[in-house]
């Protein structure tokens, strides 16, 4: 099954989007092995940084592109379909096309890859000056 951003957006809740993206991997399972340097070259390239900024802007920095679920920590750009060293080296559309990527936080990323017993994400309820406690 090839996952796409457009299809994911047809799912409206966090739980439905996570279920759509879930991969069911195993912690410690080798992905790139001795070819790890290939994905590190990708993720440190200027082209990647430009694409990353484009995806963050598109998703408004929100987890799974869900409005009002702003990511407060590190934003991970998740490839919806696992990529291989060959795809990176051959400039595959699955590596470079934003249609196959979405912003996630670390907890969501780990859940998509490895699963957990429970996960419950609700949009953050914002209030005036909530980011400036000294103004309350």
Q: What's the CA gap between 94 and 118, in Å, rounded?
A: 29
Q: What is the pLDDT of residues 10-36, one digit of tens each?
A: 999 999 999 999 987 654 444 555 677
What mean pLDDT comes out for the span 51-78? 96
Predicted model pTM:
0.78
Which residue's entry shows tokens 């759509």?
Answer: 20
What mean pLDDT comes out for the span 78-106? 95
- 94-109 burial by CB neighbour count: b if 16+ within 10 A, else e? bbbeebbbbbbbeebb
Q: Which pair of tokens denotes residue 49? A: 């940084």
Query: Minimal CA–CA distance to 85: which of 18, 25, 39, 134?
Result: 39
């Amino acid at each position: 099954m090839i996952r796409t951003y457009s299809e994911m957006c047809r799912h409206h809740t966090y739980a439905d989007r996570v279920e759509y993206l879930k991969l069911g991997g195993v912690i410690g399972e080798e992905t790139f092995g001795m070819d790890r340097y290939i994905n590190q070259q990708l993720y440190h390239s200027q082209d990647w940084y430009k694409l990353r900024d484009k995806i963050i802007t598109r998703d408004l920095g929100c987890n799974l592109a869900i409005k009002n679920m702003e990511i407060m920590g590190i934003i991970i750009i998740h490839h919806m379909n696992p990529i291989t060293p060959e795809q990176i080296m051959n400039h595959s559309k699955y590596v470079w096309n934003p249609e196959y990527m979405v912003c996630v936080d670390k907890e969501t990323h780990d859940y998509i890859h490895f699963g957990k017993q429970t996960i419950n994400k609700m949009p953050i309820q914002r209030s005036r000056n909530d980011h400036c406690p000294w103004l309350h």
